[in-house]
Amino acid sequence: MPTRLESNRPLRVAIIGAGPGGLVLAQLLRDDPGFEVTVYERGEAEGDETSSLTGYRILITPELLDSLRKHLPADVQMLLEKAIGVSQKNGNRLGMMDTMCRLICRVDLAGMRSLCSVSRWKLRKALLSGSREFVKFGRVFTSYEVDGSKGVKVSFSDGESIHCDLLVGADGAGSRVRKQLLPDSSRSSTGVTTIYFKAPYTPETEAMIPWASGIMAMAPRRSMVVAYYKNPAKPYGPYDLNNIDPEDSFLMVGMGCYTNEFFNQDKHPDELTPEELKDECLNRARGWHPLLQALIAITVPNSVFVSHIKTQDPIEPWKTGQVTILGDAAHSMTPFLGQGATNAIVDAMTLAEKLKWTEEKEKETITAGVREYESSMLKRGNAAVKNSLYALDLTFAWGNTPWRAWFRNLALSFWDILTPHPANLVEPFPVSYSESNKKGN
Ligand SMILES: Cc1cc2nc3c(=O)[nH]c(=O)nc-3n(C[C@H](O)[C@H](O)[C@H](O)COP(=O)(O)OP(=O)(O)OC[C@H]3O[C@@H](n4cnc5c(N)ncnc54)[C@H](O)[C@@H]3O)c2cc1C
C-alpha cells in the first residue's frame, strides 16, 4: 500500500455500501484533502420507503451522538439533530414480562435510560447530505483484484471497473467483499424469524406502550417486543392508515418464533402476504393479555418487515492489506440487543480516525492504521455478536419448554430483586392508560 509521501496524492478510498457504516466513513473523510472517497451503492437514492428496515429506529448512546456531532460536517450535524426522537419522561427502559403482562424484570440502569432513539430513515437522509459528489447509486459490486502498483481493481455488475488504494466492504451482512476476502467465514442461522410491524403513534396509542417505554414479552418459544420512535417535529401524525410514512413517529411491534413453527404452514413465511403475517401474529397472541393483542391489532400490514435471524461466526484476524470490512459485513448480529448499527458507526469512526492518524504521521503506512482498526473492530464486533446471540438464547433456547421458561423467568425475577433500580421512577405496570383515562373523566 502506498504511503502518503510516496504517492503524493490523495488516498483513493472506495466504499461498497451506503448503510450507516459506509456513509459515516465517507462523511468523515469527504472534506479531508488527503482522501478521495467514493461510495458505491446497489440501491437507488430514494431508498425503499415501504418495506425495508430503513424506516425503523436505532438506539445510540449519548456519547456516540456527541462524537458524531463533533466530527461530522455541519450540514450533516444539523440533519442528525432532527433524526433524534423524543424520549419518554423516564428515558429508554425495557421491561421483561410474561404474556399476561406480569413483570419479570426491569432493565433500567442509567446507561440504558440515556440511550437515544434515532430514526434510521432520517439518519440515512442526514448522512446523504452533500453526497451527490461521492455516492454512486445503482452500482452493484461483484469482485475485486489486488492489482500491484495500480492498487485495487474493483468490478461492478455493469462491466465497469475502477481503481482505488483502499477498498472498504460496508456492504452489510451478506457482504460480497467479505466472501472474497475471507472465503471461509460463515454465518449461522438461529432458526428464529421475527415479523416487525409499525402502528400509528397517537396520544392514545402512546398510552398503550407497556411500561411507557417498551417491553419484551416472553412466552415459551415465542417473543414479542414493543418499542417506539417519536418524531419531535410531528409527534402524533396525521397518518395515512394504509402506509406509515418513514418520517412519522411509530410504535414498533416485533413477534419472534422459530421459523418452522409458524401457525400458517400453507406457505413459506417469505410467501405470506402482509395481511397473512398480521393474522399469524394475532393467532400467536391468542390467550395473551388483551393489551398485547390490541397492540398487534392496531399495526399497519403494509409496514411489515420479516427478518430470518442469522449471526456471524467469529472471524479470526487476517493479514492486513488493501481491502477491509466494517459493520454488518464483519459482525452481523441478532437484533436482540439493538447493537448492530451502533457498531457499524463506531467501526467507521475508528477507521476514519486511524486513516487520518496515518496521514498526520507521514511515514507510517496506511496499512498500520488499517491493522489497528481491524484489531479493535474484531475484538468489539465479535463480543457484540456473542452478547446479541446470548440475548436471543435467553429468549428462545432458555425458554424452549414451559418448564425451562418458568425457571428462566424465576431466575430473572431474582436478578430484578438483586439489581438496584433508580429511585422515584414509579410508573404503572403494564400501562398508564386506564389512569390517564380516569384523569380525563
Ligand atoms: C429489524 C432490525 C432491527 C434492528 N434494530 C437495530 C437497533 O435498534 N439498533 C442498532 O444499532 N441496530 C439495529 N439493527 C441492525 C442494523 O440495522 C445493522 O446492524 C446496520 O444497518 C448495519 O449497518 P451497515 O452499514 O454495516 O450495513 P447495512 O445497513 O446493511 O448497509 C449495507 C449497504 O450495502 C449495500 N450493498 C450490499 N451489497 C452490495 C453490493 N454488492 N454492491 C453495492 N452495494 C451493496 C446495501 O444495499 C446496503 O445499503 C436492526 C436490524 C434489523 C434487521
C-alpha cell at 387: 452478547
All domains in the chain, ordered by first residue: 4-45+128-186+315-392 (3.50.50.60), 94-116+188-311+401-436 (3.30.9)
Please tell me the residue having the least CA distance from ligand 1 atom 39. 171
Please tell me the residue having the least CA distance from ligand 1 atom 21. 341
Report the separation in Å between the CA atom of 19 and the middle of ligand 1, taken as the mean of its atom positions. Answer: 6
> Could you count the other beta carbons within 10 Å of the beta carbon of residue 249?
27
Mutate-to-test residue for ligand 1 from 328, 346, 387, highest number of ligand atoms within 8 A of CB: 328
Taking every pair of Cα atoms in the chain, the longest distance, rounded to a whole number of angstroms, is 77
Specify the pLDDT at position 365: 75
Report the separation in Å between the CA atom of 79 and the middle of ligand 1, taken as the mean of its atom positions. Answer: 20
Numbers of helices and strands, H then E, in the chain:
15, 17
Q: Classify strands 161-164 and 300-312 as parallel, antiparallel or unpaired.
A: unpaired
Reduced to 3 states (helix: H, G, I; strand: E, B; else coil), residue 436 is helix
Report the separation in Å between the CA atom of 116 and the middle of ligand 1, taken as the mean of its atom positions. Answer: 19
C-alpha cell at 161: 471497473
CB contact at 8 A, 85 and 119: yes
Specify the pLDDT at position 54: 64
Atom of ligand 1 nearest to the CA of 341: 11
Atom of ligand 1 nearest to the CA of 177: 41
Nearest-CA neighbor of 18 among 168, 185, 176, 186? Answer: 168
CB-facing half-sphere around the CA of 16: CA atoms within 13 A:
31
* Residues counted in the chain: 441
Report the separation in Å between the CA atom of 144 and the middle of ligand 1, taken as the mean of its atom positions. Answer: 22
Atom of ligand 1 nearest to the CA of 156: 42
Residue 237: left if φ>0, alpha if ψ -120 to 50, beta else—which one? left
Please tell me the residue having the least CA distance from ligand 1 atom 30. 172
Specify the pLDDT at position 3: 55
Specify the pLDDT at position 6: 61
Report the separation in Å between the CA atom of 67 and the middle of ligand 1, taken as the mean of its atom positions. Answer: 21
| Cis peptide, bond prior to residue 2, ω within 30 of zero | no
Note the pTM of the prediction, 2 decimals: 0.93
CB-facing half-sphere around the CA of 384: CA atoms within 13 A:
24
Atom of ligand 1 nearest to the CA of 57: 8
Q: What is the pLDDT along the chain (441 residues), one digit of tens a residue?
A: 655 556 678 999 999 999 999 999 999 999 999 999 999 999 988 765 444 456 688 999 999 999 999 999 999 999 999 999 998 888 888 999 999 999 999 998 888 889 999 999 999 999 999 998 899 999 999 999 998 778 999 999 999 999 999 999 999 999 999 999 999 999 999 999 999 999 999 999 999 999 888 999 999 999 999 999 999 999 998 998 888 998 899 999 999 999 999 999 999 999 999 999 999 999 999 999 999 999 999 999 999 999 999 999 999 999 999 999 999 999 999 999 989 999 999 999 999 999 988 766 655 678 899 999 999 999 999 999 999 999 999 999 999 999 999 999 999 999 999 998 887 666 667 775 544 444 443
Residue with cell 418459544: 221
Nearest-CA neighbor of 38 among 60, 68, 18, 54? Answer: 18
Specify the pLDDT at position 366: 84
Ordered DSSP codes for 33-89: TTEEEEEEESS-TT--TTTSGGGSEEEE-HHHHHHHHHHS-HHHHHHHHHHBPPPPT
Mutate-to-test residue for ligand 1 from 52, 53, 197, highest number of ligand atoms within 8 A of CB: 53
Q: Classify strands 250-258 and 222-229 as parallel, antiparallel or unpaired.
A: antiparallel
Report the separation in Å between the CA atom of 286 and the middle of ligand 1, taken as the mean of its atom positions. Answer: 33
Q: Which residues line ligand 1 (CB under 6 A)?
A: 16-22, 40-43, 53, 56, 58-59, 140-141, 170-172, 176, 196, 307, 327-329, 335, 338-342, 344
C-alpha cell at 134: 461521492
Atom of ligand 1 nearest to the CA of 344: 26
In sequence order, the β-bridge partners of residue 59 are 117
